[in-house]
Each structure stands twice: as structure tokens, then as C-alpha cells.
Amino acid sequence: GHIIEASNPKEKLQVASLTKIATCMVVLDWANLHKVDLSALVPLSNAAFAGGATSSVGLMPGDSVSLRDLMYCALLASDNAAANALADHVGSRISNPEGLDPIGNFVAQMNALARNLQMKRTLFLNPSGMDNLPKGQALPHSTAEDIARLTRHAYEDAAFKFYVAQKSRAIHVFRNGIDNPTEIKNTNELLGQDNIDGVKT
């Protein structure tokens, strides 16, 4: 928990796909709390591809992928549709006092997590970190200091720590009832160098 070195640690910046750390932690916190089996299959609806979200691993509406493999897609391959699919699925299963759509409800949980971790200069607006938003709209942002807090929290979960340490992973995409195993590679090119064992690109 000690800061060894810092440079502009409180500067607000767009954090893009580092957002997916928070996305997967909300999923894991929910799954741990409710004893959810991470091998449970999630059907991908059109909501996973809303807002121009694409899939770097070739996921399509109608596919079914396990919660665990969706997290691998989000964390290793930085797949935006996978992050949205996780949010859509979990967001429809958690308390929703404001009556938001499932993904909006999930993003509210992401911001609640940020508040709980004292990430005071962070705003999440979607599960993927996409920032091609309409002109004039606030952009998602965070700081180096806040992302460090988030990562420290994430590394307390053994599953998260294991996921992000993998250089590649075979995932299973069920399309029309047929299993299509797909190998995905970690986009984190620093993995394995100088004892770097994970987190994210």
C-alpha cells in the first residue's frame, strides 16, 4: 500500500480499457456474495453490442459464453462486447432502486465500488471504457492514484489475480448450440517481463 514513486497521481485522465478492471471486480464481488457459479452460461443480447461496441474475439449476438470466459475476454483480449455482456447480465440481477436499464444499473455499482475504495476523482460511464461519446457529454475518467487503489482491491481476489496472469486462454463460445473453442491472447505485452505478472494493458 505504500507509494514508491508518483507522477501527477491526481491528474484526471481517460482510462479507456482499464475500466474493465472495475467491471470484472463488480462481477466477482457479486458472484462471491451470491455464490454464483462462474461457469454459468450468459446469452449475449444486442445490448452487448450497443453504442458501437465490437468484439475483438468475434463474439456475436445470440452466442452463449460463461461468466468466467467473458471475464477472460474482457481482461485479456480487452473485448468491449464481453464487458457489456457481463454488465447486462449482472445488472439485471442486482438491486435496482432507480429503475435503470441493466447496464446503467451495473455502471452505478461500478461507481459505488469506486466510492467505497475512496476513488474520489473517478467517473465510470460504461463497462468497457469506450469514450466515443456524443460531443459535450462528460467523458469517463480516473487518476493513476485511483486506478492503483482499484488494482490493489482487485489483487485481493485470487481469481482476478489468476486471470490477468495468463498469457493466453482457450474460451468456449456456444453458437447455435455448438461449442466453438477459441484461443485468445493477452494484449498485455509487459506480462512476464521484469516480474510483471498481470493487471492490464
Which of 20, 64, 128, 200 is labelled catalytic? 20
Active site residue 78: yes
Active site residue 17: yes
What is the distance between the alpha carbons of residues 118 and 83, in angstroms, rounded to a whole number? Answer: 23
Which of 17, 55, 66, 142 is labelled catalytic? 17
Which of 64, 78, 128, 142 is labelled catalytic? 78
Residue 54 C-beta-side C-alpha neighbours within 13 Å? 2
What is the distance between the alpha carbons of residues 191 and 42, in angstroms, rounded to a whole number? Answer: 29
Active site residue 135: no
List beta partners, residue 142. Answer: 13
What is the distance between the alpha carbons of residues 169 and 143, in angstroms, rounded to a whole number? Answer: 30
What is the distance between the alpha carbons of residues 104 and 92, in angstroms, rounded to a whole number? Answer: 10
Active site residues: 17, 20, 78
